[in-house]
Structure 1
């Protein structure tokens, strides 16, 4: 039985080793494991949780790298499929600290991680996981959308976390994103998103109103990331506002994934909401102060030292 199973994107992050310049002027790059749900599984494993990721790569050298990296970070790769004919996705970024990190996705028309099918899933493992984590991007195409629906139908206990992860370039239209995100909200217990993402999900950017709308949609916990204003989290009987942890930002892209893995630890441990969100917020800050995403995920002791 797994503490955490995530489902969705994986790939290779190709990050510039020079900051403050565009890709046209970058001279060298680093290669890292990428894909938000995969990074969340890595982040959780760094906190000692038994985690697995359901995803797929292409039958190419980058796919072999992804599988090896997943195992190397202590994440179970039993549910990482290989798809013929579709390359493993590659993502580039530009780094303009402290708050500008353009991302360029090279995923093709039908990337491997969106070719997951209901028949390919281990529904018993999904049912038994203490936490199941899915993202909006996984709803953007078939058959992945149906695979997600089958996975969510198998859940009857534990925590089911919906990462609202809205990236317009990966959707056919904003209308489709709103439709499928809102259809899946009732199947989750926890929703996590920034202001753009909660607006897509519930139609408002106001943090308090968005949190309330998510609770009204059936969430036990709503987490709204407010950028420089920190994080708002609410449940039926708890409310927490956590201020940002001050660090010198190097690359903010992986901060949300570190936040997610740390939040899973708090949910599993049954921490009070304020403690769980404060810990997760610090984990995100830890990674924002470093170049890489998966490679930079902190241990529990490293987060506590930062706090």
Structure 2
């Protein structure tokens, strides 16, 4: 088996999504189980687009971990850097779905296996041979995962790879915002592309004004900042200047995972060498498809599905 062209690093958990739609968490009777976690969702999305992708994370030595490994294998994701953790269990997330607003998510992960990623888990040769490393930044929240994350970013940059950060801001995962900003800043300084939704951009850019926040981030060294704005589309800042792309019109079922679908689409466009406009349209369409479906990982579209939606809007990715 050859080396992946892209790796994702970070959260790998089990998602338990309510079968009853529009019901508060306390009244949910049954849940459906999926592979979850931003890094894992993005890996599945990239695989479905046709990328050769690997995942860097940990799972517990438990039935949930076995389930996640089986799903990743079925999706074609390389798991040679997914390690079994004999101390901590696989993390869980329960979600009550209330369209069209954001759903309620309850995490069980203090502590959990993916946060216990070790420096010794990293195959630096393989990371250096890949074209892109995508980091879901909740991996920075606690040690030893934060040290492993920063080491992977540093090595990938030193060996000529592209570093993409999904800001993935989850305040409950951190002790305080000052600590979070410190580690985010260290990671951003090692990055080439930063992808964030509007609240995340305001947090790391320390401004509610998207332009001001993006300019501050670009000052740390990234070449591109991509702001996901939900129904308002996408705002891009980079060498080509500023770009705005409208959202695709779909019926919204579940907004969870839309950002991961967008990120997978955007990174796939980077791998293909597409123009910024092509990347943005493709990524926006991928995210739109995800919000029309129940889950995160299983909602990830194929390349043909994305291209069909893009074509229906009169744009193209080729």
Normalising by structure 2, we get a TM-score of 0.94
**What is the SS of the residue equivalent to 1:250?**
coil
Instruction: Quote the offset at 1:3 in angstroms.
Output: 1.8
Counterpart in the other structure of 1:118: 119
The Cα offsets for residues 80-130 of structure 1, whole Å up to 9 and x where unpaired, read as: 11111311111011111112211110112x211111111221011111111
The one of 166, 182, 197 equivalent to 1:194 is 197
- Native 8 Å contact 2:102 2:256 kept in 1: no
After superposition, residues 1-307 of structure 1 pair within 5 angstroms as 1-108=3-110, 110-155=111-156, 156-307=159-310
Unaligned 5+ residue runs, structure 2? 311-318
Q: In the alignment, which residue of structure 1 is the partner of 2:314?
A: none
Alpha-carbon distance, 1:27 to partner:
2.2
**Alpha-carbon distance, 1:171 to partner:** 0.8
2:189 aligns to what SS in structure 1?
helix
How many angstroms apart in 2 are the aligned matches of 1:228 and 1:251? Answer: 13
CA distance in 1, matches of 2:136, 2:233: 22
Displacement of 1:153: 1.8
Deviation at 1:176, TM superposition (A): 1.2
Q: CA RMSD in A?
A: 1.1
**Which piece of structure 1 moves more, 77-86 or 277-286?**
77-86
Structure 2 CA distance, aligned partners of 1:292 and 1:181? 28
SS of the aligned residue for 1:246 comes to: coil
In 2, distance between residues paired with 1:180 and 1:200? 13
Q: Is the 8 A contact 1:94 1:102 kept in 2?
A: yes
Partners of 1:79 and 1:177 lie apart in 2 by: 26
For residues 163 and 239 of structure 2, the distance between their equivalents in structure 1, rounded to whole angstroms, comes to: 17
Secondary structure, counterpart of 1:78 in structure 2: strand
CA apart distance, 1:237 = 2.3
* Deviation sequence 1:178-202 (CA, Å, 0-9, x none): 1110121110000000122112212
User: Structure 2 CA distance, aligned partners of 1:282 and 1:245?
Assistant: 6
- Where do 5+ consecutive residues of structure 1 fail to align? none
Q: Secondary structure at the match of 1:296?
A: coil
2:140·2:149 contact (CA, 8 Å) conserved in 1? yes
